[in-house]
Copies of this chain bind each other. A is one copy, B any other.
Amino acid sequence: MTVHSPSPHASSKHTRVLLADDHELVRDGIRARLQKVPELEVVGEATNGRDAVNLALELRPDVLLMDVSMPVMNGLEAAMEIRKTRPDIAVLILSVYDNPEYVRGVVQAGARGYILKDISAAEMITAITSVASGGYYFSSAVGPTLVGANTSAPVEDPYGLTDRERQVLTAIARGQPNKEVAKDLGISVRTVESHRLNLREKVGNKNAAQLYKVAQDLGLLD
């Protein structure tokens, strides 16, 4: 972790920013962008969530610009730590993955914004200014998630389900017992049971009630 010397222009009008990302290249890029704006000052850098929390407590930045995925402690856990101890520090989550699904969790973790890697310099600065002034900022791509819509970008299947398994999952989530599913798909009940067990295995051994949630997350319902 790194502590930067105060800039000679430091004043109360400046927004003090702490960077946290495990990729030096990304940090360099962000710093280069922010250096162009005199009102923004990068006061330190961290390479994991734990360091970010410690540095935030020490430096008390206005904004903590932090990647979600970092070693030791990820951005969400770090955001929760920050909220518990210093809720006045605005956490702005920078996701290198274009995954709006995180948004809810991010806000629940106490973050004040969520921006994507493909953001422009101008928008990144706007986002930092936004959270620094007390608001919430979200990249345009996360709109559907904000309104609770099923993103219609069906979410790439994180479980590696097969087509048949998806069919079975859909039917189960609709509330059909195995016997009906078997009838509808024209296969044996035992086969449906096999698929069902494989599903539970793949998605993490959740039961029937929770399979509904998985189906919903995958956009299989509606």
Contact = CB atoms under 8 A, between A and B. Distances in A.
Given A126-B129, A175-B207, A208-B209, A104 B139 contact: no
A115 B133 CA distance: 12
A210 B135 contact: no
Contact of A172 (B115, B143, B209): B209
- Complex copy number for this chain: 2
A147 interface: yes
A146 interface: yes
A135 B127 contact: yes
Interface string A128-149: 0110011111111011001110
Interface string A179-222: 00000000000000000000000000011111111000000000
Contact of A211 (B135, B177, B209): B209
Interface of A: 104, 107-108, 112, 115, 120, 122-123, 126-127, 129-130, 133-140, 142-143, 146-148, 172-175, 177, 206-213
